[in-house]
Structure 1
Amino acid sequence: MTHTSTPAASQRVFITGASSGIGLALARHYLKQGAIVGVTARRLALLDDLAHEFPSGQCHIYQADVRDAQAMQATAQTFIAKAGVPDIVIANAGVSCGTLTAEVEDIEAFHTVFEINVFGMVHTFQPFIAAMQAANKHGQLVGIASVAGIRGLPGAGAYSASKSAAITYLESLRTEMQHFGIAVTTIAPGYIRTPMTDVNGYRMPFLMEVDIAAAKFAAAIAKRQRFVIIPWQMGWIARILRIIPRWLWDRLTRNAPHKPRIDI
């Protein structure tokens, strides 16, 4: 069955982690196109600022933590009741920090990263799927993964593993949703200039400004692409990373810089 995307001005879009970074840039992108947008984050004040930039009723804001499945259920039900079944649900909320398995205090960070980056994605999609299935085989689920999920990076065990899990989870979800005509898109960014990357003290190749990234994400979503790496240069690097033998990967990463270990 061939699907055509809904014109942006007629769309209903739901985005998590929209208080800053990629989520905020995506929300602004869709709002500027005239879409009805629901946004969630833990920091309500920042969402309130966003809502005041656009006409009343266009931006629906919700304070919710993606780790809380019940809160996400309630948020989804409220958005559907007020705005209708979304055309696009974007599970964007994510965290990143340096972690070392040898450090006992990092165990909690491992749990937090997985709860947000993986279980938070499940909690985001699950409440919308039945409504999307009932809406005439319509809708699209979008998960924001990362190139860091392609290979394990030193000092980033939690982040790399969580994004690898997200990529595989989204592929499983895509195969499940194809029977219902619901598209699933996996976006794996490289380095995007956001508060998450601002703490990195090392060189970040092909660093992209967040507004440019958001526009490219939206273009991939509109095409209902299954999997895309942005920017395209990182896509070629990812292809190489997939085929590098393990012994060579170990040698290349022996002295690689680590992401800072910070509280999250």
Structure 2
Amino acid sequence: MHDPRPLVFITGASSGIGQALAERYHRAGWRLALAARRDSEMKSWTEARGMGAGSYEIYGADVSQPDSIIAAGQACMERQGLPDVVIANAGISVGVDTAQRADIDTMARVFATNNLGMAATFHPFVAAMARRGSGRLVGVASVAGIRGLPGHGAYCASKAAVISYCESLRGELRSSGVRVVTICPGYVDTPLTRENRYAMPFLMRPEAFADKAFRVIESGASYRVIPWPMGVVAKLLRLLPNAWFDRLLQGRPRKHRQGQGRAS
């Protein structure tokens, strides 16, 4: 029997923003397709919240391996049907120093997860959504993609690429009925940010972020910074002349490199 409840597919659903989004969509009555490497943690989390067996499916997948996440998307369509919303949320954040050879490999891992992983997440659903004439593909970027931060080159570059990629995809799908939504979180209190060594203005709880993101996605907006004051700050930083921007960030503590703190 066909389940009339809408379906959302979320990557990186085992912690942080992804988990908060899953809970928000569950509260709204959506069925969940949850994808992450730590599928056992997702299972424990759903059981702890008393989620009924028919309200979710779990897909163990690594977004940095295209075939892995593509297979998860295909399995989702076979088991649960074509999602109404796909949220490519999985990402990693690690500081890099270009002078260090090991950090070149770290940068490749960040791009594989944050960029190729996003495209591979969307891939199984694009043609099917276009045939149906509806659907929303949501790319989770970051305000860090608006301007480069010292010591944060891999993450900033990857999130700048997410913003441009989603913009390109939005143009490609414009006449298909499929909407592409770019969401740029500011600072959210997650394992990804807790060991940052610098000030994090407008820090949000994951639940507060998820509530705002849910409303943005439902509104059909194409691009949004959450929270909005962080968007204002980001735009002002974008307008600063390079010399002023460089002086402003001089001496700012850098993101932990691999092995110095929590990486993901």
- For Structure 1 versus Structure 2, the TM-score category normalised by the shorter chain is over 0.9
Cα deviation for residue 39 of structure 1 reads 0.7
Q: In the alignment, is residue 114 of structure 1 matched against residue 72 of structure 2?
A: no
Give distance in 1, aligned partners of 2:68 and 2:197. Answer: 36
Q: Which amino acid aligns with 2:195?
A: V
1:25 counterpart residue number? 20
- Residue 258 of structure 2 corresponds to 262
Q: Is 1:58 equivalent to 2:80 in the alignment?
A: no
Given candidates 248, 254, 261, the residue that maps to 1:252 is 248
CA-to-aligned-CA distance 1:96-146 (integer Å, 9 cap, x gap): 0111111112111100100000110000001111111121x1000000000
SS at match of 1:240: helix
Q: Distance in 2 between matches of 1:34 and 1:145?
A: 26
Task: Give the conservation status (yes or no) of the 8 Å contact 1:51–1:60.
Answer: no
**Structure 2 matches for 1:202-213, cutoff 5 A?**
202-213=198-209
**2:213 partner letter:** F
- CA–CA distance in 2 between the matches of 1:72 and 1:196? 21
CA distance in 1, matches of 2:214, 2:166: 18
After the TM superposition, which residues 66-215 of structure 1 pair with which residues of structure 2 at under 5 Å, given as runs? 66-135=63-132, 137-215=133-211
Partner of 1:47: 42
Q: RMSD across aligned C-alpha pairs, in angstroms?
A: 1.1
Task: Tell whether the 8 Å contact from 2:20 to 2:206 is kept in structure 1 after alignment.
Answer: yes
Report the Cα distance in structure 1 between the residues aligned to 2:177 and 2:128, rounded to whole angstroms.
Answer: 13
2:201 match: secondary structure: coil
SS of the aligned residue for 2:8 comes to: strand
SS in 2 for 1:260: coil
CA distance, structure 1, for counterparts of residue 34 and residue 44 of structure 2: 12
- Taking structure 1 as the reference length, the TM-score comes to 0.94
Q: Is the 8 A contact 2:138 2:181 kept in 1?
A: yes
Name stretches of at least 5 consecutive residues in structure 2 with no aligned partner.
none
The runs of at least 4 consecutive aligned structure 1 residues that moved more than 3 Å come to: none
Q: % of aligned pairs identical?
A: 46
The question of whether the paired residues in 2 share the 8 Å contact of 1:11 and 1:36 is answered with yes
* Contact 2:186 2:203 survives alignment (8 Å): yes
Higher mean displacement: 75-84 or 112-121? 75-84
Q: How many residues align?
A: 255
For residues 67 and 146 of structure 2, the distance between their equivalents in structure 1, rounded to whole angstroms, comes to 31
The letter for the 2-side match of 1:115 is A
- 8 A Cα contact 1:67 1:119, kept in partner: yes
Q: Please give the secondary structure, in 2, of the residue aligned with 1:196.
A: coil
Contact residue 198 and residue 252 of structure 2 kept, 8 A: no
**Structure 1, unaligned runs of 5 or more:** 1-8
Return the alpha-carbon distance in structure 2 between the equivalents of residues 215 and 60 of structure 1.
Answer: 22
Report the Cα distance in structure 1 between the residues aligned to 2:36 and 2:128, rounded to whole angstroms: 22
Secondary structure of 1:192's aligned partner: coil
